[in-house]
Amino acid sequence: MNNKLKKIAISALISSFLIFSVLIPILISISYSRESGVEYYSTQKSELIIKSASVTLEDPIFIDGNASGVNAHNWSWAVTQEWCSGDGSWSTPYIIENITIDAITSPTGNGIFINNSKNDYFIIRNVKVYNAGGGTYDVGGIKLQNTSNGTLLNNNCSNNRNNGFLLFNSDNNTISGNTANGNFNYGIHLYFSDHNDITENYANNNREGIYLYNSDNNTISGNIANNNDEGIILYDSDNNTISRNTANNNNEGIRIYNSNINDIFKNIANDNYGGIGLYFSITNDIINNTVNYNYDGIRLQRSDHNDISGNTIANNNWYGIYLHYSNRNDIFRNTANNNDDGIHLDSSDYNTIVNNTYNNNSIYGIYLYSCIDIKISGNTIANNDYGIYLYYSNANDIFNNTANNNDYGISLNYSYINIIVDNTVNNNSIYGIYLYYSYNTDISRNYVNNSWYGIHLYSSTHNDISGNNIDNNEYGIYLDNSDDTDIVNNTITYNNVGIYLSYCNSTEISNNYFSGNGVDIRKLEVDDPFPIEGMLLIVLVISIIIIIAGMIITKRRRARGEIQRLP
């Protein structure tokens, strides 16, 4: 028994010795690493590799993936430097990190220049570059040229004399978490570069924040681009995604120029001169953006076949949405409140304006100037000076809208062959529906209540007013110098005057229902043989003739009397 206990005790002592012999060196190494501040990371081979400490370099870095020969500055050379590690594989990429470069004397104008590196994987991180630049546009703090598979992470390329970050003919790279502020030209610049990810960067106080030229299929997401001339620009660039960026206090927040099939969604573009602008661009989607406190909210200039939907556009000085010479665009489910004009179309045809909200705009909810074949449907337009306003605009359809509590609900001026159908037009202070020198209009099945004039036509001919419910207005229907009007099958109730006609020819009034009006119909016809004004004029003329004749007769009598008294 005693021998057995002794064996157990000896085994325990041996085990304890072995455990402590392993743990003590590990604990010592951990303690040393914490005290010395050296960081570690493991490769897949579980090797402990010491990162380079922060280094300030006097010379810029130039790596050419195709270079060969003695002293060639390729990746094989770079990995021998203290600031580079790795082998260029996907699992162990080359890493350039923890360096600062003043590029004021750089012979290439770049701080770090990676050229002709298509097959190697690399990361540049925690690097600071400043004073890069020169007389040409194609230099930057960090420049990639003819290069792929690079990741630029958490670098600071600010206060350079041209670009912060420049990708030139470089595809499939990532630029993330970087700072590019105060550069003379561009914070981040892509030139003929495709399939790159630009995410969560700062690009402020540059001439242009993020600029893509002839660059397709890139993702620009989560960036902040403030206080530039332009925050984010696409020029001749297609199939890009611009999402969740903030572009404030720029001349223009987001500008799309001659660029097609781009998705622009969930961005914030506030306090710019222009919020989001499309110029000569087709088939883009502008969706769910917030565009407030600009001069123009969303502007389309000669841009066709775009979708503008789900945006919040408020408190812009001029226009919430503005289209100029832009055709066949779909504008739906937007909210454009508290602007001068909610939406303003100028010389723009075949557009659709559906299910939007345009409230509390200081002048117009919806304004059309010289537009043809616009569909305006399902919109809510309230508390504007003019709800829906057409000027020199023809062949448009205005249906199923609610235009309440404006001064003018729906107003047409010098506009022809339009349809105003199935709208609700209530509580407008002056006119529910107003036509001024407008012809061949179909006004039918509308609800027009509680305005001074329910429906008012001035010098407008060949119009049809049918099937409307016109209630509680001062004048239900008021025609002034308007000929060839059909007023049929309307319900006209509780107005002070149901129908008022002033100098109107060829007016058909039939099958209307009248109830509770002060006067159902009051007419002053231009072709009455003796209208009151005509009678007054005739009486006045006759009176003048009688007076003049009397004066002449009296004068002649006096003259005769004088002659008779002569000796």
The helix/strand/coil state of 3 is helix
Task: In whole angstroms, give the CA distance from residue 447 to residue 41.
Answer: 74
Q: Which two tokens stand for residue 185?
A: 């030209």
What is the reported pLDDT for 543? 72
Task: In whole angstroms, give the CA distance from residue 346 to residue 370.
Answer: 6
Q: Which two tokens stand for residue 251?
A: 């001349």
- pTM attached to this predicted model: 0.83
What is the reported pLDDT for 237? 99
What is the reported pLDDT for 39? 34
CB 137 within 8 A of CB 106: no
The helix/strand/coil state of 144 is strand
Please report where in the chains the tokens 């789900």 appear, as a residue: 310
pLDDT, tens only, 321-342: 999 999 999 999 999 999 999 9
CB count in 10 Å sphere of residue 105:
9
Task: In whole angstroms, give the CA distance from residue 242 to residue 352.
Answer: 24
The helix/strand/coil state of 210 is strand
Residue from 265, 267, 275, 354 nearest 314 by CA: 275
What is the reported pLDDT for 46? 31
| pLDDT over 90 at 34, yes or no | no
Q: 136-170 burial string, b = 16+ CB within 10 Å, else e? A: eebbbbbbbbbbbbbbbbbbbbbbbbbbbbbbbeb
Pairwise pLDDT comparison (12 vs 464), residue with the higher score = 464
| pLDDT over 80 at 51, yes or no | no
| pLDDT over 50 at 19, yes or no | no
User: What's the per-residue H, E or C state across 270-323?
Assistant: CCCCEEEEEECCCCCEEECCEEECCCEEEEEECCCCCEEECCEEECCCCEEEEE
Q: How far is CA 435 from CA 174, 177, 343, 526, in A?
A: 58, 58, 21, 20
| pLDDT over 80 at 208, yes or no | yes
Q: How far is CA 283 from CA 238, 253, 308, 342, in A?
A: 10, 20, 10, 23
Give me the residue spans of the domains in the chain: 10-40, 55-203, 207-286, 540-567
Task: In whole angstroms, give the CA distance from residue 308 to residue 291.
Answer: 12
What does the pLDDT average to over 365-394?
98
Q: Which two tokens stand for residue 377?
A: 């449907």
| pLDDT over 50 at 186, yes or no | yes
φ, ψ of residue 205 to 5 degrees: the values are 60, 35
The percent of the chain in helix, strand and coil, each rounded to the nearest 5, is 15, 40, 45
pLDDT, tens only, 487-541: 999 999 999 999 999 999 999 999 999 999 999 999 986 544 444 455 556 667 6
What percent of the chain clears pLDDT 90, i.e. is strictly above it?
80
Reported as type and span, the H/E element at residue 545 is helix 532-564
Task: In whole angstroms, give the CA distance from residue 508 to residue 521.
Answer: 12
What is the reported pLDDT for 137? 82
What is the reported pLDDT for 58? 82
What is the average pLDDT score of the chain? 89
What is the reported pLDDT for 2? 47
The DSSP letter of residue 469 is E
pLDDT, tens only, 413-449: 999 999 999 999 999 999 999 999 999 999 999 999 9
Q: Which two tokens stand for residue 5?
A: 């206990």
What is the reported pLDDT for 23? 42
Q: How far is CA 315 from CA 271, 340, 361, in A?
A: 10, 8, 9
Query: DSSP assignment of 11-72, as one string?
Result: HHHHHHHHHHHHHHHHHHHHHHHHHHT--EEE-TT--EEEPPPPEEESS-EEEETT--STT-
What does the pLDDT average to over 123-142?
92
Instruction: Give the strand order in the sheet containing 99-102.
Output: 55-57, 99-102, 128-130, 156-157
Query: DSSP assignment of 78-99, as one string?
Result: HTTSTTEES-SSSSS-EEEESE
What is the reported pLDDT for 35? 33
Q: How far is CA 189 from CA 65, 140, 234, in A?
A: 22, 9, 10
What does the pLDDT average to over 103-129?
96
